């Protein structure tokens, strides 16, 4: 190897290495959400476009869950693998992430989800075109809009829909907090993503009937916007009695409640977190557990 | 951060931190059983209310198993994650838990299961109302009572039903004892809940046909009582030739037999548990393996 | 606690503790094979007796695999969790177990499988009786004999059947050897049973069509004998052109070939096993890798 | 044990122990690809030959994924368990393997896949012969050629097919790089194969509809050649508008892109890889990250 060449290569790499940690984390969240949408919504696409022949509720639930697992494995070491504004919101609120990062994380998540939806549209372009004679439909047996975003069941009222998203995301965050709580039972380090995958499988198997269990504003809103622009039309927003805002607002509320339940019922009672003990320890910590915002 | 604010916050947290270990454990068991019922019975609800379109035997078995996994991850570090009176009964009987805690654990489990059933009823309220034209039925193709509690197969006699619950819970406890026996093969620490989930998958895939494999008095009786009060009527108790007491009493008997088999066949033969060795060690231990109650 | 009582209790336990290691291992293999048959064949029973409503190829494959996983967790620390005469045969042949133990292991496995079949018959007695109007049939759509033992597909010749059992068991043993080879990639200690479970899932998903992939003389012959005695009649032996001996002899041959391939292709090439190195080490080892029997 | 016998045995083993590391790795890749094809394509065979009765999209996706898992467990400690020319290509390109090994790895993979296809043909010979009255067909409801190689969906254009293979393999390699990146979240050592299995499950559940998601030149081309020779005829190459070269070339392109994305977006930004740090370390390393070939 010529020294000159190696040096030049290193300069090239040096330019590539992002100096700012925040920039790294932003691009990581973009990539993670991108992966989740292509592989997760892709599992829905395969089931719908094959009319159930090469996919169904099981491949969708397992596929979406494992898409999240893989997104976390790719990005977890850099940005924590939130890939969900509701998760980032709860992390900030409970002192696990600083607020100034929040807009960067959330922006990257929305952009990554949009890019993922566009990529999936490209991969299945021929399939989508042949599915309903070239039409991109929102309702009926030839509908394909629900490949990208979630829509409520016909029986569902808006009140029940909102409660559904709040409760599902509440369970998601409550248990995610437990999975990462090393003073609880403790998932072995490096296996947290797999257990989160199992968690998503059970939530989407149990609370997925009402409205598809989005639990994630970026996962739902960005692909919905993409479908509006790509040919399904802006009825994707008015469908289901203007359902679109439910999987955006509901998860934020549910994430706060879920985190709060875990912290109040389980976490603050851990033996090594009694007040005197923490007084000694907390000097060099950031404002962990600062619940002042919501109390 | 202002010192005054931090101090005030700490006082607030100090009040929240439960001084009594038993109180912590009780509330933990309540939360764990609550999680299990919402996500576990929720998996049944999704399959039934979608008439098999978004769920079936696989999502039910996997969903219920993973609901138990998640409940144990949330509560295991605090209360051991029993979430089942039959497990608590065996733990007390085999000296792994003190008897004075038993009523608190069991009470919390029954209350948590009731609260879980009520929450699930709320989340799927619109779905339940639209499923059978507003009727809440116990039998027939529009029945929904078996979302919450188990009912026997038409062919099943009471004798066979009782044997079924005894044997299923016997396998459950025998293998749970093995999973937590660090002197046996040894599930890696922190992964026991996942292996218990796999265990519940196989038991409900193999011994679930007769009567749904409750194996847990709280999981069955509390949701059954809820359905009786919520509109299904007290026929939920008389159905199946007064089947209701089978999943209450059977699991208690089976848990004892299962624990006993494991201890007698496997555990007491471990090399480092020979009598002389234990004489030295047992002074500072509680009455482990005191089988006097049943012998 | 009274000293006298504690002493008496210890004497009682002392009597229970089996002095002989071989006796312990024998009883452990009995229990393991018993668990495998009840939960494994139970998964087949649930699918057949519900006519596919509460089980199918997935619950059968996953159920049988996880039945093996649980059997190994219960018995692995005591007897290694062979629960299969073909495995014990390979272990002896490749120096991982002494030959004098072989008849005890195999006897326990056959007895455990028989007891498991009888127990399963008891648990599903009402279901079996109501399934075909009280008749216990071997062929036709109301057949139930294949709950217990395997039968060949109609198209299968005896030659192909024998090759099928040889090749399937060859893969089983080859990969089991890899899973327990700590100098290869290395499954983390305590998770080997789960990976073996995944292995059984893939083998029964890929090589299960010809004749149900028994791969285990005890798993097949003992339940077949039970069905012959319990009312299905001795046609269970003549069925499929006297198929019964194929899953007995085939697995023994396949196990040897599979172990041999792994040892010759992978294991003996590991760096720390070069001849000089081993000369130093092998003095205090038993006849590991003594292939003299077959060479 | 007689010394003479032991000595003779050791000489025998000494001859068997391959001196050359490359020879070991070549034979290991052969065995790994062989295992993957028999068990992976075997899962497809079982589903097709049983006309969906004993297999379907779930057993195929899980079966193929676990076939890869087992192949990696058998070969990972010796040759890294590539079992895919696209993986070997990326490993060489990104400095994880020396180029001189590339032809040996790839040759072994193609030969192993061919041998696997032939073995599978033998195991299911009776089934294949009876399936379509002795005919070996490429199209129609009695087709069996897609047991061995992949074919495009009717709607798929060649452009979309190529993009499909590029993108699928891009995700595969990007995430495989993450799984083995110990400075990222970190899959526990020894469990990487299982997580790769989960990855293959999600990719084949989400991106498998277009053309079966081969992502591997050896997995597709060798079995296709086998079917051409074994009786299906050379139409297996012309089918689907000469589709055969897409799963050969596409994966190579996708692997490079996937690896590149992971390295550029995630890996080079890890803190301990800043340029100065690496200058010190890189002297005794091979040309890791030498991207000169493609830049």
B167 close contact with A: CB closer than 8 A: no
How far is residue B46's CA from residue B52's CA, in Å, rounded to a whole number? 8
Biggest CA-to-CA distance, chain A: 70
Mapped onto helix, strand or coil, the DSSP state of residue B143 is: strand
Best of C52, C57, C73, C204 to disrupt the B interface by mutation (most B CBs within 10 Å)?
A: C73
pLDDT score of C290: 34
How far is residue A165's CA from residue A198's CA, in Å, rounded to a whole number? 19
pLDDT score of A147: 97
Q: Smallest Cβ distance to D42: which of C207, C264, C275? A: C207
Contact D255, D294 (CB under 8 A): no
> Which H, E and C letters describe chain C, residue by residue?
CCHHHHHHHHHHHHHHCCCCHHHHHHHHHHHHHHHHHHHHHHHHHHHHHCCCCCCCHHHHHHHHHHHHHHHHHHHHHHHCCCCCHHHHHHHHHCCCCCHHHHHHHHHHHHHHHHHHHHHHHHHCHHHHHHHCCCCCECCCCCECHHHCCCCCCCCCCHHHHHHHHHHHHHHHHHHHHHHCCCCCCCCCCCCHHHHHHHHHHHHHHHCCCCCCCCCCHHHHHHHHHHHHHHHHCCHHHHHHHHHHHHHHHHHHHHHHHHHHHHHHHHHHHCHHHCHHHHHHHHHHCCCCCCCCCCC
D251 close contact with C: CB closer than 8 A: no
Q: Check residue B137 and report its DSSP letter.
A: B
Cross-chain Cβ contact B74/A209 below 8 Å: no
pLDDT score of C279: 39
**At A270, is the pLDDT very low, low, confident or very high (cuts 50, 70, 90)?**
confident
Tokens 């467990």 belong to: D73
**At D293, is the pLDDT very low, low, confident or very high (cuts 50, 70, 90)?**
very low
Contact C34, C119 (CB under 8 A): yes
List, in order of start, the domains of chain A with CATH numbers. Answer: 20-271 (1.20.1080.10)
The pair of three-digit structure tokens given for residue A237, joined into one six-digit string: 């927003």
pLDDT, average across residues A189-204: 97
**At C275, is the pLDDT very low, low, confident or very high (cuts 50, 70, 90)?**
very low
Tens digits of per-residue pLDDT, C137-160?
A: 999 999 999 999 999 999 999 999
Q: Is the model's pLDDT at D224 over the cut of 70?
A: yes
Cross-chain Cβ contact C39/B268 below 8 Å: no
A16 close contact with D: CB closer than 8 A: yes
C83 close contact with B: CB closer than 8 A: no
pLDDT, average across residues D72-86: 96
Tens digits of per-residue pLDDT, C49-84?
A: 999 999 999 999 999 999 999 999 999 999 999 999
D171 close contact with A: CB closer than 8 A: yes
Mapped onto helix, strand or coil, the DSSP state of residue B108 is: helix
The pair of three-digit structure tokens given for residue D147, joined into one six-digit string: 């047991």
Tens digits of per-residue pLDDT, B237-267?
A: 999 999 999 999 999 999 999 999 999 999 8
C294 close contact with D: CB closer than 8 A: no
Q: Is the model's pLDDT at A5 over the cut of 60?
A: no
Under 8 Å CB-to-CB from D23, ≥6 apart: which residues? Answer: none
User: Across chain D, what does the average pLDDT equal?
Assistant: 89
The closest of D36, D65, D15 to D199, measured between CA atoms, is D65
**At A10, is the pLDDT very low, low, confident or very high (cuts 50, 70, 90)?**
low
How far is residue C259's CA from residue C90's CA, in Å, rounded to a whole number? 7
pLDDT, average across residues A140-149: 95
**At C186, is the pLDDT very low, low, confident or very high (cuts 50, 70, 90)?**
confident
Q: Is the model's pLDDT at B272 over the cut of 90?
A: no
The distance of D250 to chain A (nearest Cα, Å) reads: 14
Spacing of C-alpha B185 from chain mean position: 24
**At A180, is the pLDDT very low, low, confident or very high (cuts 50, 70, 90)?**
very high
Beta bridge partners of A137: A143
Mapped onto helix, strand or coil, the DSSP state of residue A255 is: helix
C294 close contact with B: CB closer than 8 A: no
How far is residue B161's CA from residue C140's CA, in Å, rounded to a whole number? 28
pLDDT score of C272: 61
How far is residue A102's CA from residue A92's CA, in Å, rounded to a whole number? 7
How far is residue D185's CA from residue A74's CA, in Å, rounded to a whole number? 8
pLDDT score of C26: 96
Residue A153 with chain B: CB contacts under 8 Å: 126-127
pLDDT score of D12: 65
- Return the CA Rg of chain D: 21
Tens digits of per-residue pLDDT, D15-63?
A: 666 668 899 999 999 999 999 999 999 999 999 999 999 999 999 999 9
Mapped onto helix, strand or coil, the DSSP state of residue B118 is: helix
The pair of three-digit structure tokens given for residue B295, joined into one six-digit string: 């012998």
Q: What percent of chain C has pLDDT over 70?
A: 85
pLDDT, average across residues B178-201: 94
Q: Which of C3-7, C218-222, D229-233 has the lowest mean pLDDT?
A: C3-7
Tens digits of per-residue pLDDT, A74-113?
A: 999 999 999 999 999 999 999 999 999 999 999 999 999 9
Contact A124, D164 (CB under 8 A): no
Q: Which of A266-280, B130-144, B240-254, D11-25 has the lowest mean pLDDT?
A: A266-280
Q: Is the model's pLDDT at D135 over the cut of 90?
A: yes
**At C6, is the pLDDT very low, low, confident or very high (cuts 50, 70, 90)?**
low
Phi, psi values for residue A137, rounded to 5° = -110, 155
pLDDT score of C282: 38
D8 close contact with C: CB closer than 8 A: no
Query: When comparing pLDDT for A114 and A20, which is higher?
Result: A114
H or E, element range at A39: helix A21-49
Q: Is the model's pLDDT at A281 over the cut of 50?
A: no
Residue C1 with chain B: CB contacts under 8 Å: 287
Q: Smallest Cβ distance to B43: which of A178, A181, A206? A: A206
Contact C78, B266 (CB under 8 A): yes
Contact D42, D120 (CB under 8 A): yes
Cross-chain Cβ contact B57/C59 below 8 Å: yes
Cross-chain Cβ contact D70/C292 below 8 Å: no
pLDDT score of A21: 86
User: Across chain B, what does the average pLDDT equal?
Assistant: 89
Contact D136, D232 (CB under 8 A): yes
C290 close contact with D: CB closer than 8 A: yes
Contacting subunits of C (3+ beta carbon pairs below 8 A): B, D
Q: What percent of chain A has pLDDT over 90?
A: 81
Is ipTM strictly over 0.85? Answer: yes
Q: Is the model's pLDDT at D126 over the cut of 90?
A: yes
**At D93, is the pLDDT very low, low, confident or very high (cuts 50, 70, 90)?**
very high
Q: Check residue D188 and report its DSSP letter.
A: P
H or E, element range at B291: none
Q: Which of C78-82, C181-185, C192-196, C270-274 has the lowest mean pLDDT?
A: C270-274
Query: When comparing pLDDT for B272 and C220, which is higher?
Result: C220
The pair of three-digit structure tokens given for residue C9, joined into one six-digit string: 């209790």
Q: Is the model's pLDDT at B97 over the cut of 80?
A: yes
pLDDT score of D194: 97
Spacing of C-alpha B84 from chain mean position: 3
- For the four alpha carbons of A293, B1, B5 and B8, in that order, the dihedral sign comes to positive
Task: Using CA coordinates, name the residue in chain B closest to A170.
Answer: B35
Task: Using CA coordinates, name the residue in chain B closest to C25.
Answer: B266
Q: Is the model's pLDDT at D3 over the cut of 70?
A: no
**At D5, is the pLDDT very low, low, confident or very high (cuts 50, 70, 90)?**
low
**At B10, is the pLDDT very low, low, confident or very high (cuts 50, 70, 90)?**
low
The distance of C148 to chain D (nearest Cα, Å) reads: 18
Tokens 């919520």 belong to: B230
How far is residue A134's CA from residue A127's CA, in Å, rounded to a whole number? 9
pLDDT, average across residues C19-33: 92
Contact C278, C191 (CB under 8 A): no
Task: Using CA coordinates, name the residue in chain B closest to A197.
Answer: B66
Q: If contacts are CB pairs under 8 Å, which of residues 191-210 in chain D contact chain C?
A: 191-194, 197
Mapped onto helix, strand or coil, the DSSP state of residue A80 is: coil
Cross-chain Cβ contact A78/D269 below 8 Å: yes
Burial annotation D128-141 (CB, 10 A radius, 16+ → b, else e): beebeeeebbbeee
Q: Smallest Cβ distance to D59: which of C155, C184, C205? A: C205
How far is residue C76's CA from residue C80's CA, in Å, rounded to a whole number? 4
Residue B31 with chain A: CB contacts under 8 Å: 261, 265-266
How far is residue C30's CA from residue C37's CA, in Å, rounded to a whole number? 11
D27 close contact with C: CB closer than 8 A: yes
pLDDT score of C287: 36
């Amino acid at each position: 190897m010529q020294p000159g060449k190696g040096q030049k290569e290193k300069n090239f790499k040096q330019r590539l290495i992002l100096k700012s940690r925040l920039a790294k984390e932003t691009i990581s969240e973009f990539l993670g959400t991108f992966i989740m949408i292509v592989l997760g919504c892709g599992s829905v696409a395969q089931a719908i476009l094959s009319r159930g022949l090469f996919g169904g509720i099981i491949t969708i639930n397992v596929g979406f869950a494992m898409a999240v697992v893989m997104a976390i494995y790719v990005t977890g070491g850099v940005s924590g693998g939130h890939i969900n504004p509701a998760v980032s919101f709860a992390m900030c609120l409970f002192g696990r992430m600083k607020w100034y990062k929040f807009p960067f994380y959330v922006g990257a998540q929305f952009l990554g989800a949009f890019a993922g939806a566009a990529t999936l549209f490209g991969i299945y372009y021929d399939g989508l075109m042949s599915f309903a004679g070239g039409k991109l439909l929102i309702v009926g047996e030839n509908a394909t809009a629900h490949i990208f975003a979630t829509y409520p069941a016909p029986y569902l009222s808006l009140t029940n829909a909102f409660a559904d998203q709040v409760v599902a995301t509440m369970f998601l965050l409550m248990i995610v907090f437990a999975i990462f709580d090393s003073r609880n039972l403790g998932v072995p380090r490096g296996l947290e993503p797999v257990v989160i995958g199992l968690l998503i499988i059970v939530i989407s198997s149990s609370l997925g009937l009402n409205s598809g269990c989005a639990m994630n504003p970026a996962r739902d809103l960005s692909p919905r916007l993409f479908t509006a622009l790509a040919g399904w039309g802006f009825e994707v927003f008015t469908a289901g009695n203007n359902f679109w805002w439910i999987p955006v607002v509901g998860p934020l509320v549910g994430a706060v409640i879920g985190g709060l339940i875990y912290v109040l019922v389980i976490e603050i009672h851990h033996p090594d977190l009694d007040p005197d003990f923490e007084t000694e320890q907390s000097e060099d910590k950031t404002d962990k557990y600062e619940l002042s915002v919501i109390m």
